[in-house]
């Protein structure tokens, strides 16, 4: 087919859906994934005892809020990355505040914890649950996000997938934190980050595979 | 540069609201730019126009990812670069046999094997228009690959390969229907 004819054919096709639909699709995908994750969480783990009382401690609350903030920024970045040549903008600049704040929390806790207790708090008793649980809980959300982003046009599929993985892991970690009784930043700042890193890597691999177009 | 991006923005905005004329003007306007991008990455002229068309199709399929008000030029270049890199990577990963060597053997392909199928018309609807056109011209109307190539702006070898690939796909489709 001559290029001229191709242009004529394409021009004759109906107009595309409105530009906002990518955000709507991503929202729906995230909510659908989140629903699966919440069901999974309630079925297997469930919230800790006295959740409300625990959350009144700001250090414990940070365990839930930090990943939630991360999910918010990473989600915005993932969406931006699904549109060609859209810069990362404000979320790209402020997303770094989350790891910075978590790092600060870690060092604050290092100072506030007695020397003999540091290693105990750092190792905790549940890394073998924490890391796989956050990773698994992130997968339904990741699937929903990736599915939605296929409607976009990510020109860096692995990066977009990683951002989706980061957003999904943030939500998963926030949910998992409602179960987790390890309240020292010496534990959660490290092991949650490890789990989020694993989920982000899975996102990158999934992006490379499913976000190509 | 900015003028151009503005003009494209105006055209694409109207196009996305359903103005076919503006859309055709937009595509015509960007095609030479795409051609330059493709040529910049290519070591030979071979198949460049095919890749230009792939980029146009990609822009068409993803035109909803441009938001009115965003600059069009970077958006367009990002898609063109992505698709061009993708096309060259795929061609590299695919069979590396030069088409002209293959052409002699492909000439033996008996025309009319799956083309004899009673529901050829229906099968042809299942593949892209361009391949269907080649199958019709070579397999049904009996035109030579050279004639079809001259008409479609492809080399004789490229037509034979496209024909062969289309037949393979048709055979597969015919097989899966039975």
Cβ(B64)–Cβ(B42) under 8 Å?
A: no
Lowest-pLDDT range of A22-36, A160-174, B78-92, B154-168: B154-168
Is residue B108 within 8 A of residue B145, CB to CB? The reply is no
Highest mean pLDDT: which range of A186-195, B25-34, B38-47, B153-162 = A186-195
Q: Would you tell me the crossing angle of helices A185-210 and A115-123 to the nearest 10 degrees?
A: 30
Of the CATH numbers 3.30.70.1150, 3.40.640.10, 1.10.1740.10, 2.30.30.40, which one belongs to the domain with range B2-93? 1.10.1740.10
Contact criterion met (CB < 8 Å) for A83 and B66: yes
In the predicted model, is pLDDT for residue B103 greater than 60? no
CA triple B82-B87-B89, angle to 5 deg: 95
For residue A62, pLDDT over 90 is answered with: yes
> What pLDDT, on a 0 to 100 scale, did the predictor assign at position B69?
86
Domain at B99-177, CATH from 1.10.3720.10, 3.40.630.30, 1.10.10.10, 3.20.20.70: 1.10.10.10
Residue A108 burial (C-beta neighbours within 10 Å; 0-12, 13-18, 19+): middle
The ranges assigned to domains in chain A are: 39-210
Please tell me the predicted confidence (pLDDT) of residue A9: 86
pLDDT at A48 over 90: yes
Q: How far apart are CA B154 and CA B128, in angstroms?
A: 16
pLDDT at B109: 47
User: Which residues of chain A have a Cβ shorter than 8 Å from any chain B Cβ?
Assistant: 1-3, 6-19, 21-22, 82-86, 152-153, 155, 212-213
Q: Which residues of A touch B153 (CB under 8 A)?
A: 2
For residues B68 and B5, give the distance between their C-alpha atoms in angstroms, rounded to a whole number. Answer: 12
Terminal CA-CA length for chain B: 56
Which of B33, B62, B69, B85 is the best mutation test for A, with the most CBs of A within 10 A?
B62
The yes-or-no verdict on residue A50 having pLDDT over 80 is: yes
End-to-end CA distance of chain A: 22
**Quick check: B34 pLDDT over 50?**
yes
* Chain B environment of A9 (Cβ under 8 Å): 129
Domain residue spans of chain B? 2-93, 99-177
H or E element, residue A145: helix A127-149
Cβ burial of A49 (10 Å; 0-12, 13-18, 19+) is exposed
Say which of A6, A10, A85 has its CB closest to residue B74: A85
Q: What is the pLDDT of residues A93-103, one digit of tens each?
A: 999 999 999 99
Residue range A104-130: mean pLDDT, rounded: 94
Residue B116, chain A, CB below 8 Å: the answer is: no
**Mean local confidence (pLDDT), A106-119:** 94
């Amino acid at each position: 087919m001559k290029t001229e004819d191709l242009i004529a054919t394409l021009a004759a096709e109906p107009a595309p859906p409105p530009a906002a639909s990518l955000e709507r699709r991503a929202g729906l995908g995230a909510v659908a994934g989140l629903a699966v994750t919440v069901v999974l969480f309630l079925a297997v783990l469930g919230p800790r005892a006295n959740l409300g009382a625990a959350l009144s401690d700001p250090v414990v609350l940070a365990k839930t809020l930090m990943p939630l903030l991360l999910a918010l920024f990473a989600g915005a970045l993932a969406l931006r990355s699904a549109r060609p040549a859209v810069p990362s903008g404000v979320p790209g600049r402020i997303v770094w505040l989350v790891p910075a704040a978590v790092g600060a929390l870690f060092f604050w806790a290092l100072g506030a914890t007695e020397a003999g207790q540091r290693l105990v708090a750092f190792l905790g008793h549940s890394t073998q649950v924490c890391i796989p649980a956050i990773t698994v809980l992130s997968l339904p959300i990741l699937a929903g996000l990736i599915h939605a982003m296929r409607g976009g046009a990510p020109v860096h599929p692995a990066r977009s997938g990683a951002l989706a993985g980061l957003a999904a892991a943030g939500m998963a970690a926030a949910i998992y934190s409602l179960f987790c009784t390890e309240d020292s930043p010496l534990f959660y700042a490290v092991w949650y980050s490890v789990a989020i890193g694993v989920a982000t890597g899975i996102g990158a691999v999934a992006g490379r595979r499913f976000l190509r177009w | 540069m900015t003028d151009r991006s503005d003009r494209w923005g105006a055209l694409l905005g109207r196009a996305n609201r359903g103005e076919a004329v503006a859309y055709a003007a937009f595509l015509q306007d960007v095609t030479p730019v795409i051609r330059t991008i493709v040529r910049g990455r290519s070591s030979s002229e071979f198949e460049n126009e095919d890749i230009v068309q792939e980029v146009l199709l990609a822009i068409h399929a993803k035109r909803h990812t441009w938001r009115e008000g965003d600059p069009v030029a970077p958006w367009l270049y990002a898609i063109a670069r992505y698709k061009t890199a993708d096309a060259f990577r795929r061609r590299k990963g695919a069979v590396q046999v030069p088409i002209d060597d293959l052409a002699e053997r492909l000439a033996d392909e008996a025309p009319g094997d799956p083309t004899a199928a009673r529901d050829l018309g229906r099968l042809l609807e299942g593949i892209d228009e361009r391949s269907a056109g080649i199958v019709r011209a070579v397999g049904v109307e009996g035109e030579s690959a050279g004639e079809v190539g001259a008409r479609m702006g492809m080399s004789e070898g490229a037509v034979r390969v496209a024909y062969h690939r289309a037949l393979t796909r048709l055979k597969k489709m015919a097989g899966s229907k039975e």
